[in-house]
Structure 1
C-alpha cells in the first residue's frame, strides 16, 4: 500500500508545488510521506525549501477542509457512513467530539497535535458550524511548524528522507511540551474568565 501511495506522490511531482498541495488534499495520503519526500525534492534542486513548506502547509489545510465540509453539510450520520474512506473511525469522532465540547474553536489548532484526534477534529468543527475562516487560520498555524520540520528533515537527510518520520517521532515529545503548556494556560484562563 505504501509503495502505491509513493508512486502516486511521485506522479504529483510533475505538478511541482501544486502537486504537494494536491497530494495532501487526500486524507488517506500520509503527510509523513509527502512532506519529507518534498524535502528530498528540495535537496535534489527541483524545488525551493520555502515554497515546499508553504505548499505543504496549504495542502495541510485543504485535507482537513474536506472533513470540515463533511461534518458541516452531512452531519454525524453521513460522517459515520463515509468517514471510513477518510480513515476516520467512530471512536475518533467520539474523542474529537469530547475534545471540541471541552475547548471550543481552539481545538482546530490544539487537536492537530493529539494522536487519535488530529484527523477527526475537523468533523466536529464542521458539525458545530465553526466559522470557516477561523478554522482555516487555526489549522494553518498548527500545520506550518509541523510541515516545516518534516520538509526540512527530508531536505537534511537527502537520499535517506524516509528516516524523517522516525526522527520526528523520536523528538515529538519535546515539541508537545510547549503545546501542552499552552493548553494548560488556555484552559486556566478560560476557567478564570467563567468565574469572573
Structure 2
C-alpha cells in the first residue's frame, strides 16, 4: 500500500511535505491496526487541527477500495474517531469552565469581557447550529467543541450533532477517495482551496476586530 501512495500522491499534488508525510503516517496506522487506524488518525486530527482530514479521509476511502477493509468500516471508524476527538475537546472546555475562561480572557489585550458576553450570547442562540455545521468547516471543526464544553451544552445533544455533522463530512471525503482510487489525492486540492478561503475570512475578521478595538481605545483616550 505504501509504495503506491508514495509514487502517486507527491507527483500529482505538488505538496509533497503534506501528502508525503501525512499519507505515509496514515498508511502506517491503517497497515498496523486496519480500519481502527483511520479512526485513530481522525481522532488525532480533531485534537491537532494541522493534521488534515482532507488527506486522511480520502486515503481511508482509497484503502477501502483496495479491499484492505470495507467501505462501511472506513465510514464507521472515521466517524467514531471524529466523535471521540470532539468529545475530548468538549471535556477540555468543561474543565476550563466559564469563570476560568473569563479570567484568562480578561488578560488578553484588546479583549473586553463585554466581547466575551457577546460571544456567549451568540453561542447560546446558535450553539447547536455551530456544532453541527462546524463539523464541515476546516479549523472550526475542532475548535467549536471547546465553547460547547465551556457553555455546558447537554452532552448527548453535543454528541448527536457531532455524529450527524461528522458523518456527512466524512462520507463525502471517504466516498471520494473510494471512487477516485489512486487519484484520491485530487480531493485534497479542492478542499485546500476551501480551507484557504476559510483562513482568509478568519484573518479578515481578526483584522477587523483589532482595528475596531484600537479605534475604540483611541476614542476613549481622546474623550477622557
TM-score, normalised on structure 1?
0.70
Q: Deviations over 1:42-91 (max 9, x none)?
A: 1211111111111111111112112111111123767xx9xxxxxxxx9x
Q: CA deviation at 1:131?
A: 1.5
Distance in 2, matches of 1:75 and 1:171, equals 32
How many pairs align? 160
Q: CA deviation at 1:100?
A: 1.7
Indicate how the Cα distance of structure 1 residues 114 and 159 shifts in structure 2: closer, same or farther if over 3 A, else same. closer
Which runs of 5 or more residues in structure 2 are unaligned? 1-16, 105-110, 196-224
Distance in 1, matches of 2:157 and 2:40, equals 22
Q: CA deviation at 1:21?
A: 1.1
RMSD between superposed Cα atoms in Å? 3.0
The residue that corresponds to 1:126 in the other structure is: 149
The residue that corresponds to 1:44 in the other structure is: 66
Distance in 1, matches of 2:194 and 2:22, equals 25
The residue that corresponds to 2:178 in the other structure is: 155
Q: Of 19, 25, 42, which residue of structure 1 is paired with 2:37?
A: 19
Distance in 1, matches of 2:165 and 2:94, equals 21
Indicate how the Cα distance of structure 1 residues 53 and 120 shifts in structure 2: closer, same or farther if over 3 A, else same. same
Indicate how the Cα distance of structure 1 residues 110 and 98 shifts in structure 2: closer, same or farther if over 3 A, else same. farther
> Which shows bigger deviation, 68-77 or 23-32?
68-77
1:137 aligns with 2:160: yes
TM-score, normalised on structure 2?
0.62
Q: Deviations over 1:75-117 (max 9, x none)?
A: 3767xx9xxxxxxxx9xxx897575243133422132234553
Q: Of 131, 140, 145, which residue of structure 2 is paired with 1:117?
A: 140
The residue that corresponds to 1:190 in the other structure is: none
Which runs of 5 or more residues in structure 1 are unaligned? 82-89, 173-196
The residue that corresponds to 2:131 in the other structure is: 108
1:30 aligns with 2:47: no
